[in-house]
Amino acid sequence: MIPPHSEIPWQKLSPLDGHTFFGYYDRFAWNADNTLHLALKAPQAERLPERGETAEVGVLDGTGAFRRLARTRAWCHQQGAMTLWLPRRPGCFLFNDWDQTERALVARVCSVKDGLVGAYPRPIYALSPDGAWGASLNFARIPRRGYAYADGVLDPAAVPDLDRDGILVVNLRSGKVKLAVPYREILNRHPAPYMLEGAYVWLNHVIFNRDASKLLFLLRHCRDARRPYPWQTHLFTCRRDGSDLACPLPNVYWNGMISHQIWGRTPHEILVDANWQGQGHEYVVFDERERPVRASRISRGQGPMGHLVFSPDGRWLLADAYAADGWQTLALVHAATGECRAIGRFQHEQPPDTPGDVRCDLHPRWSPDGTRISVDSIHDGRRGVYGCSLEDCLRAVGFPTA
């Protein structure tokens, strides 16, 4: 096994057996004091999950041990089971599951100490940073089955229920669910409605901003849900109650030139990787209120597309890159200067017959205090979770530590 970086002590946080991973990059995997890291232990990493297939939900304690706390039928290789620590309930986290009795997707609440202690009637996609709100959508409409759940059977209808489906917000204290933005309003705001004629439409990647006042989400559409590639992407924002709905980044800006999006350092800043100059993906921010878009470059980037996320204090940026010649590179970017330096190079060669949405991306994550970093990797032959400290990275690549 080739180490990810000769001068950075990357530590394997997960056990040597099985396939253990966290999933996505837009959430915290560590708890508040960095003693526990959420993880999923999957039975296989060669194909999409099948209906009824379960994965183990649990925590890593930093010693390489995995502690199973529950099982779930709502998981995928790209985003796990959407596990999320609950800031207002210390020691508790959410994860999505299939409720066999209700025949529906739900979110369960699990306590590290006591096991399952509650549930919400909708699967949760994202939490507000203050832990008061959850965002939900219809996973069954997502035709990319590596980002959906096998038990949430794909909805074959080209047009969803326009007035009962859309972006939903869950009050995590009361459990009440509100349809914040129905499909009808979203489609009515579409910049080019003629593109939707006969198209299959779905919602994905909903995220709360830093002060929980706004949501960002993607509306996508394609010709055939069974073969979604290529699709069109329009980025929308709205207030948490669904008002002030707008489309600041229509497909003309995407069009194969953007791969990922996330809120930035302020309540209105959005960060994307944009290949608008045709010379590689650069790291770009813009204020979602400005029309037309007025973008600023944070860094020239690494070239390939990838996942980007600011540190909690906004000083640093983690950026992975899709595999090139069987390797994925993780970079640390100094936000003030745009300097981009590699802190890991992971060998990620998937078997040739592995479906694309079963691939393993690094999906870099910060700890809540910004002192630790973790990734998912297969460089030792199995999916595992690896971590290191920001301080070690800064020293190894020559960035200032103060």
In angstroms, the CA 318 to CA 366 distance is 8
Asked if the structure places residue 333 within a domain, the reply is: yes
Res 158: pLDDT: 86
In angstroms, the CA 76 to CA 322 distance is 19
Mean pLDDT of the 52-76 span:
97
Mean pLDDT of the 338-365 span:
90
Asked if the structure places residue 13 within a domain, the reply is: no
Nearest to 288 by CA among 335, 333, 238: 238
Proportion of the chain above pLDDT 70, given as a percent: 99
Res 112: pLDDT: 98
Cα separations in angstroms, 336 against 216, 294, 321, 341:
25, 19, 21, 14
| CATH code, domain with 402 | 2.130.10.10
Asked if the structure places residue 280 within a domain, the reply is: yes
Mean pLDDT of the 78-101 span:
97
- According to DSSP, the residues that pair with 256 across neighbouring strands are none
pLDDT tens-digit map of 171-199 = 999 999 999 999 999 999 999 999 999 99
Nearest to 144 by CA among 220, 236, 52, 53: 220
Mean pLDDT, the chain, rounded, equals 95
Asked if the structure places residue 68 within a domain, the reply is: no
pLDDT tens-digit map of 94-103 = 999 999 999 9
Indicate whether 370 pLDDT > 60: yes
Res 322: pLDDT: 84
Indicate whether 282 pLDDT > 60: yes
Report the domain count for the chain: 1
Cα separations in angstroms, 354 against 45, 357, 382:
9, 8, 14
Q: How far is CA 205 from the centre of its chain?
A: 7
Asked if the structure places residue 351 within a domain, the reply is: yes
In angstroms, the CA 41 to CA 397 distance is 32
Res 94: pLDDT: 98
Asked if the structure places residue 95 within a domain, the reply is: no
Res 323: pLDDT: 75
Mean pLDDT of the 116-130 span:
97
pTM for this predicted structure: 0.96
Res 386: pLDDT: 97
When pLDDT is cut at 50, 70 and 90, the band that residue 1 belongs to is low
Indicate whether 295 pLDDT > 70: yes
Mean pLDDT of the 141-166 span:
94
Question: Residue 385: phi, psi to the nearest 5?
Answer: -105, 130
Mean pLDDT of the 290-308 span:
96
Measured CA angle at 214 (ends 246, 311), to 5 deg: 120
Nearest to 305 by CA among 271, 274, 345: 274
Asked if the structure places residue 151 within a domain, the reply is: no
Nearest to 280 by CA among 205, 219, 207, 340: 340
Q: Which residues form the domain of 316?
A: 274-402
Asked if the structure places residue 336 within a domain, the reply is: yes
